[in-house]
Structure 1
Amino acid sequence: MQRGEPEPGTVWTAGQVARHLKIAESTLRAWHRRYGVGPDNPQPGRYRRYTADDVIRLRRMRDLIDTGMLPSEAARSIDTEARHGGSPGEDLAETLAAARALDSARCLRLVEQALRRQGVVETWERLCRPALVTIDADQRDDPDCVDTEHALSWAISAALHRVPHPVGAPVVLLACTSTEQHCLALEALAAALAERGRPARMLGAATPTQSLARAVESSRPADVVLWSQRPDTAHLDAIRSLRHHPVRRITAGPGWPSRRPSGTEHVASLNEALTALTR
């Protein structure tokens, strides 16, 4: 369990839950009224009381929304998890506990089990991204817990690398911009493409623009995906360097500005990227 989380059998008030999750009480009420995410059986005319399972569901709701998911979609995701058995957020809670204990081997096993059970996309959206968002929030409270992020990131990366990749000429080239060091999302895309039998070549983090152009020239992919996590790494020169090559240029990640060079597509999620690259 996370620090300060209620033990099984205990209950919290709405105010305690709101402070724990760092959201407004009005947000809790809205999620319960609009999407049914809240206390299972609140009594009419009584104050709402939240159990440990309620808190797990609400944290899951918050984390999914933090990754960019609409509240309605997040609520449907939580409902799907509940109907498929197990406590909502159980995999996430166990993975976070293992990461905080720096048990990278257990993190790896948990992510691999999720991949076998539900595939790359569901594992990324329901486990990996929310876990990374939660650890990032931990770092804002305690900047010294970088080791936790490293343990979790290593486990996710190792599990994604074990997804069998098809043999064949690369159809998709994946790269980060020259100063972008975060490439886990691209690794998830490569693994998801592999599940669909679509060969991809990964250049990884901090790919120099000149090297990117040379790789496109030599491998001749149909599509190039450029990842940027933050605005300061969204280098438009990387896109422009490919304008004379017969490839589809696709930007991915939250770093890119809304206005991009003409002839460039943008994908905002793993599902959007798969749709664009497999149609």
Structure 2
Amino acid sequence: MAGRLGVAPATLRTWDRRYGLGPSDHTTGRHRRYGPADIARLERMHRALLRGAAPAEAARYARSSTEDTDAPAEPPRRPAHRIGRGLRLPGASRRARGLGRALLAMDAPAAQAVLAEAIAEDGVAAAWDQLAGPVLAALAERELAPVSHLAAQCVRAALATAEVGAPLPAHDNPVLLFSADPAALPPRVLATALVQRGIPATVLLAAFPAEALAALARRLSPAAILFWAADPGQAEPRFFHRVKGRVPMFACGPGWAEAELPDRIRRAGTLAETAARLEASLG
């Protein structure tokens, strides 16, 4: 059931414990089975959360919709943010606004539900480019550290879930993904997108000297190397000069925008574009 909805099993247990939206049919042993009515309630709960409703409100809607034929056809929406004004998300999608509302309300289950649906429909990298990345940038603009921390946790949880059931690696050597920022999320997002494509990936998030990074790259013989930099202070062009051989190398992130790079270095675009380019070059 968790896979059908795109939520974590722990989320289903929480909905059962808090709101009574669990399976009703008993089988032998300790297991219970979801019946059609249970599934319908959970799907209504999920849709309401994706529209930004509070969990308790969504649960009331889910229960009333199966018990009252005159219940409203549209799931409820959250009427207001709980933490100050909303986020600046010009041209944002319904999902982005829903994710912003859930995070501002510190509602982790709702935020994870939005992320899971986006990943299931659009893929990990596109979900970052179009949804999580813009929302986290808007949170950083508001300087809401606790909300940003929760958002990062939700993204990491979504990535861990997305890697479950990934195909076995089709290559022996990994793609190396570097960043000087230990909290950087884009390299982790890209690694998950590659793993889903059967491409092994190793993420290293630390401000190591260029010489040390180049030595590691030589020792591991990676299939490709990508260096993520969120700002110019994290960009280290010397690293690319230290790496010898013909391994494909990519400079990714806004930090490289003004950096002078060797001709053989490829400037990467969005994470979705980069994942596709890496898959094509390694295929």
TM over 0.5: yes
Deviation, structure 1 residue 152:
0.5
Mark the runs of 5 or more structure 1 residues left unpaired by the alignment.
1-55, 64-88, 140-144
The residue aligned with 1:271 is 272
Deviation, structure 1 residue 231:
0.7
**1:249 equivalenced with 2:253 (yes/no):** no
Counterpart-to-counterpart distance in 1, 2:140 and 2:220: 36
**1:104 equivalenced with 2:103 (yes/no):** no
The residue aligned with 1:175 is 178
Please show how residues 86-97 of structure 1 align to structure 2 within 5 Å. 89-97=93-101
Please show how residues 1-279 of structure 1 align to structure 2 within 5 Å. 59-61=89-91, 89-139=93-143, 145-164=144-163, 165-168=166-169, 169-177=172-180, 180-242=181-243, 244-256=244-256, 257-279=258-280
Contact map agreement 1:182 1:205 (CA 8 A) in 2? no
**Which amino acid in 1 is paired with 2:236?**
H
Deviation, structure 1 residue 273:
1.0
Deviation, structure 1 residue 267:
0.7
Report sequence identity in percent.
25
**Which amino acid in 1 is paired with 2:132?**
C
Describe the SS at the equivalent of 2:267: strand
Q: Which has the larger radius of gyration?
A: 2
Contact map agreement 1:161 1:187 (CA 8 A) in 2? no
How has the CA–CA distance of structure 1 residues 170 and 108 changed in structure 2, closer, same or farther, with 3 Å as cutoff? farther
Deviation, structure 1 residue 261:
2.5
Counterpart-to-counterpart distance in 2, 1:196 and 1:167: 9
Mark the runs of 5 or more structure 2 residues left unpaired by the alignment.
1-85
Contact map agreement 2:95 2:114 (CA 8 A) in 1? yes
Deviation, structure 1 residue 208:
4.4
Counterpart-to-counterpart distance in 1, 2:152 and 2:198: 25
C-alpha offsets along residues 108-128 of structure 1, whole Å, 9 cap, x if unaligned?
Answer: 232123212332133122211
Counterpart-to-counterpart distance in 2, 1:59 and 1:226: 28
Q: TM-score, normalised by structure 2?
A: 0.59
C-alpha offsets along residues 127-163 of structure 1, whole Å, 9 cap, x if unaligned?
Answer: 1122112212222xxxxx2111111111112211322
Deviation, structure 1 residue 211:
4.0
How has the CA–CA distance of structure 1 residues 247 and 149 changed in structure 2, closer, same or farther, with 3 Å as cutoff? same
Deviation, structure 1 residue 98:
2.1
Counterpart-to-counterpart distance in 2, 1:247 and 1:114: 33
**Which amino acid in 2 is paired with 1:133?**
A
How has the CA–CA distance of structure 1 residues 106 and 268 changed in structure 2, closer, same or farther, with 3 Å as cutoff? same
Contact map agreement 1:174 1:225 (CA 8 A) in 2? yes
Counterpart-to-counterpart distance in 2, 1:198 and 1:207: 25
Number of matched pairs:
190
Moved >6 Å (runs of 4+): none
Deviation, structure 1 residue 252:
0.5
Describe the SS at the equivalent of 1:260: coil
**Which amino acid in 2 is paired with 1:248?**
P
**Which amino acid in 2 is paired with 1:138?**
R
